[in-house]
A and B are shown apart, each in its own frame.
Chain A
Amino acid sequence: MLPRDLKPEDFRLYPPVARRLVVENITAIRRLPLSFLPNLLREIIEYDYKFPAERTAITKELAKLGADSDAEVEDLLREFSKIRLSPQLESFDWVNSPGQFVERLSDHLWTTHQLDEFRIAATKYGDHLTALVDAEPLPIPRLGVSVVGRDVGSFDGPLFRKLRPHGTFFNRINPENGLNLLLEAVAARARRHPIPYAHWYIDGGEPANHDSILTGISYAALEPIRAALIAKIHTEIERPGMGPEALRSIMAQLRPSTLGMAGDDEIMQRFQLKLLTEASGTQIFSTTYAQWAAREALKRAQPLTLLVRFAPRQRQKAMNELLTVKPEQPELDELGSLIDADMSAYYNWLNQQRLPGAEKSCFLAWFEGHPSVLAIGPSIPRGTESGTEADLEKLLNWLV
């Protein structure tokens, strides 16, 4: 089937809000090329479980596509229309399984050497979308905070090397009560601007006490879910004929209740489930979990405030240990985790800067328990070092 043949009843398996949305916009959807449409449907089919920012973006995107003339849509998606698809892709059930279609499309693009053309098409369309979203001013500038190096006594190497060119490195900040000051500051922002899913606290270990107004997730809280997931994976891979692709499909079909997730907020449950089922390494390394969770939160919920605290991950065992030592409680790698988190802080900043309002956004990275802080913001000099004495609260006030 091709997009032009779509009928409202083709979407009967979609969740209710998504179905209504797609049916309301079916005229616009029919005009879209098949190399493009399943990417959009992959988002729409999850609409019922999307964050407000995602819903707004999808609604705007569909409204824009609906308002454009045939010629404008054709011009916008011309590069997508040039992508050559296989008959197998055209006959795939891309309406009900758009995610799987996109995976197959990706394989097809690699195999037929059309990936570069697709990238050009996607970049052009992405720029167009960004222009749409940019029209909305933010109520306050975005603030990102990355807390790295929990439990590291001392570190002689250079920290925040990739961030330093973009801000000021403060080397005499009073670390006392630092985490509480930061958590209180982000909670105060949330109280002043109580927008759903706009203020987050992600912890790579046990979460510290924090105001429940924050959207909070942690690696420690997911422990039973991770255990259930790993058990499920081990069961599945024992089945005859199980391969990577089949396993991926099974992971994609998992629902929060399957792994024992409970609660009223299905949006957050699904978000957390995807952190474990769609990512690599989040199931085993807390630093990877914290970085990926921050990436996905920024990309999807577009929070105004995001505090990420990294915790020590388990140590990767060397081959000789695996051959001789019995499995036991995993040891932690504090120093390796600091290096992971240092790079992750840079990625957190990069991902924050991809969002609207980047020119006014602020960012702070702190070596927990130590006087080293890197601050980035419109009022902060770039590429400099400062010996100014202050505590984290005062520094945040300067920053934002």
Chain B
Amino acid sequence: MVVTFGGGARDQETFAPEGHENIPNIMREMLPRASFFTQVVNRGILGHYVATASLVTGVYETFNNFAAVPPGNPTVFEYYRKDLKRPSSDAWVVAPSNGFNRIGESNHRSYGEGMGARVILPKYLLKAAMSGSGSDYGHLLRDNYENPYSTPDLGNREFELQQLEMILKLSADDFRAHARTLSSPDELSLYIFRQLIRQVAPSFLWITMHDIDIAHAGAYSLYLEGIRRTDRLCAELYKLLEDEPEYSGKTTLLVLPDFGRDADQDAGGNGFQHHRTGDAAARTTWLMAIGPHIREGVVYDHPVESIDLVPTLGAMLGFSPSLARGKPISELV
């Protein structure tokens, strides 16, 4: 299981001493059982979709962050399925926005269509389920916080409703009713995650959190609220895995932000609001790994790169990400 703690959280609001108050659940429930890497450097483009694509390919992708294009290099899901001969039901992505709908597989000629992960977009499921209800939920479908007015339409409501009913075993009515009890899109993602592991039980699942990116609106309290919510959801997700017999004791969980945000001191930015300067605070973040073969309570201060994730997963699971540029993190494999 891979969780991106996003989109974009700085050390000073998370694992730096002054940030601990924002992540009490992770500090208490998860960190003591984890191997923790304090310096994960992202040398690529700091836009959420392209950076997440870089995380899933192990190559710093360079496409336009706001374009609806697949990654150019094979994704970790394609390596996984091809090398280990796994069915399509075994690799899933739960992604925050419509812009991520191509994240599951690349357009690489040796891999590509039909060989990657299946992607669920909870906001889009919600849109399909709410269609015609007349509720004011448009804000929820805001695709990203960097360009708040862009909400690409993927079409095909029927397909989304089928996804709900056939795969997640949810009626549109149940889904709507449950959605009304949730406070944020990431909570909806966790709800979908829960349904997936109970109904499909995939071996490889990637969930991308995004509430934190409200920081682009410039309200510090909302940014902190996003971090605290993500902290709570990570702990809930971890507990969920521990409580599910299919996963308990045999699941490795990796949690990392896609990148950080600009430093307060960098005159080129506006502190926490954006991730535009490419300074050290925006590029440097952390990784937490928990699992049956992972050492507990260990902190590693040497730098690793975000593109090391895919080779590390390859070494853990036994597939060969031949085109990934990073290298396995030796302490995890």
Contacts and interface: CB of A to CB of B under 8 A. Distances in A.
Interface of A: 107, 110-113, 115-116, 119, 122, 126, 162, 233, 237, 243-245, 247, 279-282, 284-285, 287-288, 291-292, 295, 313, 316-320, 322-327, 333, 335-337, 339-340, 342-344, 346-347, 350, 354
A337 B218 CA distance: 11
Contacts of A347: 264, 270-271
B150 to A, nearest CB: 5
Contact of A319 (B64, B179, B216): B179
Given A285-B217, A347-B270, A320 B45 contact: no
Contacts of A237: 149-150
A347 B270 CA distance: 8
B180 A320 contact: yes
B278 A115 contact: yes
A322 B137 contact: yes
B167 interface: no
B139 A340 contact: no
Nearest to A282: B218
B163 to A, nearest CB: 20
B265 interface: yes
Contact of A284 (B43, B184, B217, B273): B217
B221 to A, nearest CB: 4
A344 B218 CA distance: 9
B221 A354 contact: no
6 contacts: A247-B149, A285-B219, A326-B136, A339-B220, A340-B219, A354-B267
Contacts of B139: 317, 322
A281 B217 contact: yes
Given A244-B149, A280-B274, A319-B179, A292 B219 contact: no
A350 to B, nearest CB: 6
Nearest to A342: B220
Nearest to B138: A322
Contact of B221 (A245, A324, A326, A337): A337
A280 B218 contact: yes
Nearest to A295: B270
Contact of B222 (A112, A316, A344): A316
A287 B219 contact: yes
B27 interface: no
Given A119-B277, A244-B147, A319-B188, 7 more contacts: A281-B218, A285-B219, A288-B219, A317-B139, A323-B130, A333-B221, A354-B267
A287 B149 contact: no
A81 B222 CA distance: 42
A350 B179 contact: no
A285 B135 CA distance: 23
Interface in B200-227: 214, 216-222, 224-225
Contacts of B136: 322, 325-327
Contacts of B273: 280-281
Contact of A243 (B150, B188, B224): B150
Given A115-B278, A287-B219, A324 B267 contact: no
Interface in B213-245: 214, 216-222, 224-225
A313 B219 contact: yes
Interface string B256-274: 0000000011011011111
Given A116-B278, A243-B150, A244-B66, A324 B180 contact: yes
Nearest to B278: A115
Nearest to B18: A161
B216 A340 contact: no
B179 A292 contact: no
A75 B218 CA distance: 39
Nearest to A126: B267
A203 B263 CA distance: 26
Contacts of A326: 136
Contact of B219 (A115, A279, A316): A316
